[in-house]
Amino acid sequence: MKEEKPILRDKSMDNTLVLMTESYRFIRNRARELNSDIFQTRLLGQTTNCVVGEEVACVFYDETKFRRRRAVPKRIQKKLDWRKSHTDDG
């Protein structure tokens, strides 16, 4: 049986600005700092779970487990010109 470890928490009050600065590198950077592939942080004042790694990616892309339809509002997709990305199935 695999031993469950507690989820580590980033000590920062809120990381929204850091996320905007570091962009997609934010999660990987924090995971390295915490030496963990799962951790909690605060973004926009909300507790957020972040995960990294190949195993997690396989689960995330398994369409039987997640539905991304309407994950990002249309107005945001238009603004960012995201035609096909991680925002919608298909």
Task: Spell out where 4-87 has E strands.
Answer: 8-9, 38-43, 46-51
The mean per-residue pLDDT over the stretch 35-63 comes to: 90
Lowest mean per-residue pLDDT among 14-28, 49-63, 64-78: 64-78
Encoding tokens for residue 36?
């963990």
The predicted structure's pLDDT at residue 36: 93
Task: Note every long-range contact of 21-30, with CB atoms under 8 Å and residues 24 or more positions apart, other chains counting.
Answer: 27/51, 27/52, 28/52
Please tell me the pTM assigned to this model: 0.65
The residues with which 41 forms a beta bridge, in sequence order, are 48
Higher per-residue confidence, 66 vs 11: 11
Distance CA 25, CA 22 (A): 6
